[in-house]
Each structure stands twice: as structure tokens, then as C-alpha cells.
Amino acid sequence: MQYQIETATGQDTETIVQFQLDMARESEDNKLDYATVREGVKAAIEDDSKATYLLAKAPETGDVLGCLMLTTEWSDWCNAPYYWIQSVYVRPTARRKGVFRELFEFAKIVAQSENAAALRLYVDKNNNVAQRVYQSLGMHDSHYLMYEL
């Protein structure tokens, strides 16, 4: 592994908040509310049942280069959890250098260690760059559509 993959702590809150604000702006041209995102990140870091953030850090400096959030959903059909990758962000200067690949591989190990039925994510239908990255890692379209209210 080229990067250190670690679980986020409270000290990482501001970095993750900034990543989420940047990700929403870059991928969906969406300006999120800082205070709301900060409280959401804090809640997840403080309560593992909500989510777990994985961070990729530069081994020389410890700088956070990217992150993703893992959440779970219980499947009664499979009697196993589905793991979801969410809130993916890699600093622009660290893109195309394997940061997300290492985060993804670590998330895959976590999911497999919990006997997950699947490792899933959703992506904006117009984010073709991200879709190509996910496909290059062996992921494929699901036969499910997503709806919301």
C-alpha cells in the first residue's frame, strides 16, 4: 500500500467537512450548509452505528488526501449487511494516483470481513468520470433504480 488508510477521529472533522463541501460543489454544483455538514460529520465520527469514515493519508506527511464514508443496510433476504460507499472525495492534487483505489480496496476488506452481501455505491447519473473509475475497479450497474421523496 502506498497510502496509510485510517479510520477518522474527531481531529479529522474539519478536513472531512471541507471535502464534503468541495465534493458537492464539484460533482453536483451544490452549495451545502457548513453547519449542517459539520454536525453530520461529527455525528458519524462519534457513533459508529451511523457511519465510518476511512481516510487515505500521505505516509511522509500524514496529510489527508482522500476519504470515503461506509454505511450499512441490513438485508433480511440475505441475512447479511450491504455495505455502502458514500461521500467519496480525493483532493484534486492527489487524483489519478491510486488514492481512491486503496480506499476502495480497504472498504472491500471491511465488507468481506463482515460477510457483506454486497458493496454498493450510488453516483450522480451525470458524473461520467466517477462512473468510469468505479467500473475500472470491477463495479457494475445495479439492476435497481433509486427513488426518493
Mean pLDDT for all residues in the chain: 95
Model confidence pTM above 0.85: yes
pLDDT at residue 125 above 90? Answer: no
Q: Does residue 28 carry a pLDDT above 90?
A: no
What is the mean pLDDT of the segment spanning 139-147?
Answer: 90
Report the pLDDT averaged over residues 18-34: 94
pLDDT of the residue at 145: 87
Residue 1 is predicted with a pLDDT of: 73
pLDDT band (50, 70, 90) for residue 27: confident
pLDDT given at position 54:
98
What b-and-e string marks burial along 5-35, b requiring 16 or more CB atoms within 10 Å of the CB? Answer: bbebeeebbebbbbbbbebbeebeeeebeee
pLDDT computed for residue 113 by the predictor: 97
Distance between CA atoms of residues 19 and 57, nearest Å:
14
pLDDT at 127 over 90: no
